[in-house]
Structure 1
């Protein structure tokens, strides 16, 4: 199955249990998970999960993460790269608390997860017991699509089936089921997986209106977000852009590739600042936002586009994104249905194709090493089919200039801004795409949020190259201080971190690079390694401006 693409229905395998025979809750859940294709379980176990893990079946794979945030990040990466819901098993209230940051990120990423959480025995719950979770279903809200602690043990299999259906309904997202530990042995009846449509067709009349407006426009522009790659609709988008002869911009904070970045129609990245967005879209007489919000901002300001009368059309499967649009016409629909339907309504464009954007020259080596030089070297060194998972927010402009992503399913990052996601996500992506090299590009500050994920990569001998972009501090905070005019803020510098030693302590070899002369050899060595390997690259402390005009 292509990266990020899911079937429109849930494939059903033969049911292993007799429909009307009584079985235990555990037997019913395992049979349901087999039908749904959720036989890889990401977890960090505690006492309340042991009855579920008892006599673990041989046809299931248990992926151990050493901290619950890593567990959710790995499951998120696996789900997004496979296009299927991932199963995640956490420990009681404290485990959900540890995982909360990456649950929030999974919600923003639209990652389909079924999260089960252990709960104390039902007989103890009235007495506020040790490990008891008060209002367990409410704890992760509003950052799960649906959550429940079933009223009866017999309802647990049905609740998990329900959670799966909601997780896989667009927009995808995490769901959660809290399960008391003594529920697993209670007799119940099997629950069969249902075949459920996951796509929504767009309104034909509104598509007609959008096609007519695009046909009249002299200088339209497409602003594209992660829903296109998520749905495997990249070829349809490419055909639409080429039919229109319109430039394509990546939406602010797009968490996947929006458009092949070496294509002549690709015009760059919109920053997350209202004024810069308005500047980047100036001169266009129609804006078509496809698979993205209108727009995701990070700094305050006024976006003139919302008031100057420029027509704005939005195609999205996310009702919240549609409702939040600042202006224009929003059309709800799945990308894989909406884009071909829109294309079929368009005639051949007669407008001139815009000139391709200027390519920056290869940066020269220098001391200290510029991040731009690192990314250019990485582009030359990594395999063509490698998948990049990024969490180096202060260096993202440099990465976008010198490490273009050209293949659908070739890039993942977090939509939330929360650190500690991308290293475990890279582990999950590597497990979902066996045999494909995954390159985790991680800032030094980000590494310390979820460094435990290295251990899981080592245990599974994953083809994972970890590149630490080490500027000895929280570079994004340096940059944002510049945006806000803040000086002398504490807590930004990070001296004394030895990532090679930290990785070695978990069985991952590594190498420190401080000069341009050793970079190419270190990267070549890392890509030749069968299992995970770390390259810690010291880069300069230059403070980039994150919210300039699209480039």
Structure 2
């Protein structure tokens, strides 16, 4: 059933003439936590023509007006003019060691501040190196603008250095709007800039993510701008559900008990979700990315779902059997639900998301009331009409941390490490904590507890190794405060930006789970009963590497030394690596992932017990 709602016109369906004829109100105001430049503050450099203004300088000035504060990238000759304009702008320009790391850093800088960020690269491999990080930006719902250089028209097809044309790279998807970029174009002349400015502003004004690509030929970067760029009417427009929609939700949710399933898309509605839960007595669960949006120490919190999640969620669904589940801002994809049939409520889902294509996709056979709306606005409207509900369910199953047995002087158990991280970093600082893909993800998601939004970050869309290893630098730079990455040794070897953190003296801490193997793969193959695959890697001394780059660090081989190592890292106020030799035999809480693979046809022969959100 289609619900009534107001929404912004999709970007790809708007032409330049429609911009002019319909007088769209365009706003780069992403949310109320950041005050964007108001119309009267637009600088004369952008609003008026200037015979000496180059395309590169005009593009950079546009980005400043759109609220960009940080730019991350790797330079090259093809984008020398653009790099020069960036370097002399009001933006903080961070020069990274690899374009992939720069892109991941830009993603995390966006989420640390809610401001759009920029990634810049030169032509050819600069572009292709950045694509995985930009793919993650799209999947995570970040607001990132990618600036790249490409070959000038007279040199195309002539084997220019790092030629970037249709002769050498597929144009579809990289230089055009599609699955990777919400908006992409090649700037062939200065006359395009007014239209580009409007399209970027419109995209950034929409709730949710927006990833754009502006490819600027080397010769065009130095050409002069002769026409005025537009002044934009900066007003925020958020999708508001109709009164009929809210009334229908109230009617369904008052029929019987219901649960709330919180996703990352609800991160701006934490206060409202807490009020709704306490007003109605509803149980609350969350996706891995949504940890902390609803306090994990709250008696109504029943656990995290999906990868690294909690068995207490399944206990609730089986014993309390809610009539409905109100889904707020999550796609319910495999990392969040494993598409488990046990998560289906008796009467179906009420699924709210800013993206109209999300509700009903993960569970297409289940009755679903789809609602397209901004989550914060929706919950505010629902609270206004929702009566207080007296519930007989006063006690819900909550996630439990198993008692840890006394340790030894051998290797560090991951669960002991997580306990120390919880005490010293989560409870003792305001640091952003992010976990890398692999067992780092499952241990952190399952065992750490957060009571506020914005403190925990994982990637569940792309899940690229190296995301947190490099993203931690972007988060620390953007928030101007401590950021911590919990990573595996495989990811740390694949891609890191320790050298960048040293250059800018960034307070980033890497905690490396060093077990000399890709342990999620190693343990997963064993549990699936598959033998012969090699997941081992040589043991690496990451403290020696860190010191060789100018950072500090400490190696931990005993559980008794964890506290001192973590406290030293905090006191250092600069880049710091804690290299922890962990016990590789401890089974990570990833049962759901292994059973999910089995459900897709991978034969599982080992049924060893694992504690986690299971696929039932």
Is the TM value for this pair above 0.5?
yes
SS of aligned partner of 2:580: strand
Question: Paired residue for 2:331, among 285, 293, 307?
Answer: 293
Aligned to 2:602: none
Which deviates further from its counterpart, 402-411 or 520-529? 402-411
Aligned to 1:505: 548
1:439-478 to structure 2, matched below 5 A, reads 439-451=484-496, 453-478=497-522
Query: CA 1:528 to 1:503, structure 2 compared with 1: closer, same or farther past 3 Å?
Result: same
Which deviates further from its counterpart, 465-474 or 347-356? 347-356
Question: Paired residue for 1:411, among 456, 460, 468?
Answer: 456
Distance between the aligned counterparts of 1:254 and 1:497, measured in 2? 30
TM-fit CA distance, 1:115: 0.5
Distance between the aligned counterparts of 1:257 and 1:69, measured in 2? 28
CA contact (8 A) 1:36 1:193 kept: no
Which deviates further from its counterpart, 532-541 or 38-47? 38-47
TM-fit CA distance, 1:176: 0.7
Aligned to 2:278: 242
Distance between the aligned counterparts of 1:273 and 1:320, measured in 2? 26
CA root-mean-square deviation: 2.9
Aligned to 2:532: 488
Aligned to 1:197: 236
Whether 1:536 aligns to 2:536 is no
SS of aligned partner of 1:248: strand
Distance between the aligned counterparts of 1:447 and 1:502, measured in 2? 11
CA contact (8 A) 1:200 1:332 kept: yes
Distance between the aligned counterparts of 2:422 and 2:339, measured in 1? 35
Question: Paired residue for 1:385, among 430, 439, 444?
Answer: 430
1:314-393 to structure 2, matched below 5 A, reads 314-322=351-359, 324-326=361-363, 327=366, 328-352=368-392, 353-355=394-396, 357=398, 359-363=400-404, 364-366=406-408, 367-382=410-425, 383-393=428-438
Aligned to 1:129: 160
Query: CA 1:33 to 1:190, structure 2 compared with 1: closer, same or farther past 3 Å?
Result: farther
1:52-131 to structure 2, matched below 5 A, reads 52-54=82-84, 56-57=87-88, 59-131=90-162
SS of aligned partner of 1:531: coil
Whether 1:269 aligns to 2:304 is yes
Distance between the aligned counterparts of 2:259 and 2:395, measured in 1? 10
CA contact (8 A) 2:322 2:346 kept: no
Aligned to 2:294: 259
Q: Which runs of 5+ in 2 are unaligned?
A: 1-29, 593-610
Aligned to 1:149: 186
Distance between the aligned counterparts of 1:5 and 1:488, measured in 2? 54
Question: Paired residue for 2:48, among 19, 35, 51?
Answer: 19
Query: CA 1:104 to 1:205, structure 2 compared with 1: closer, same or farther past 3 Å?
Result: same
TM-fit CA distance, 1:471: 2.1
**Total equivalences in the alignment:** 542
Query: CA 1:329 to 1:7, structure 2 compared with 1: closer, same or farther past 3 Å?
Result: farther
CA contact (8 A) 2:323 2:347 kept: yes
Question: Paired residue for 1:175, among 205, 208, 212?
Answer: 212
Aligned to 1:424: 470
CA contact (8 A) 1:28 1:157 kept: no
Q: Which runs of 5+ in 1 are unaligned?
A: none
Question: Paired residue for 1:215, among 244, 254, 257?
Answer: 254
CA contact (8 A) 1:362 1:376 kept: no
CA contact (8 A) 2:308 2:589 kept: no
CA contact (8 A) 1:48 1:181 kept: yes
CA contact (8 A) 1:65 1:456 kept: yes
CA contact (8 A) 2:134 2:211 kept: yes
Which deviates further from its counterpart, 295-304 or 156-165? 295-304
Distance between the aligned counterparts of 2:337 and 2:62, measured in 1? 45
SS of aligned partner of 1:448: helix
TM-fit CA distance, 1:74: 0.9
TM-fit CA distance, 1:287: 1.0
SS of aligned partner of 2:254: helix
Distance between the aligned counterparts of 2:524 and 2:32, measured in 1? 35
CA contact (8 A) 2:441 2:458 kept: no
1:38-57 to structure 2, matched below 5 A, reads 38-54=68-84, 56-57=87-88
Which deviates further from its counterpart, 349-358 or 82-91? 349-358
CA contact (8 A) 1:160 1:177 kept: no
CA contact (8 A) 1:4 1:82 kept: no
Whether 1:138 aligns to 2:181 is no
Distance between the aligned counterparts of 1:238 and 1:92, measured in 2? 48
Distance between the aligned counterparts of 2:337 and 2:530, measured in 1? 14
Distance between the aligned counterparts of 1:380 and 1:299, measured in 2? 29
Distance between the aligned counterparts of 2:373 and 2:402, measured in 1? 40
Query: CA 1:300 to 1:331, structure 2 compared with 1: closer, same or farther past 3 Å?
Result: closer
* Deviations 1:284-314 (CA, angstroms, capped at 9, x unpaired): 22111111013435897762555x7532111
CA contact (8 A) 1:422 1:440 kept: yes
Which deviates further from its counterpart, 456-465 or 323-332? 323-332
TM-fit CA distance, 1:549: 5.1
Query: CA 1:14 to 1:110, structure 2 compared with 1: closer, same or farther past 3 Å?
Result: same
CA contact (8 A) 1:72 1:102 kept: yes
Distance between the aligned counterparts of 2:362 and 2:306, measured in 1? 17
SS of aligned partner of 2:357: helix
Scaled by the length of structure 1, what TM-score is found? Answer: 0.90
Distance between the aligned counterparts of 1:518 and 1:549, measured in 2? 28
Aligned to 2:26: none
SS of aligned partner of 1:118: strand
CA contact (8 A) 2:307 2:613 kept: no
TM-fit CA distance, 1:256: 5.5
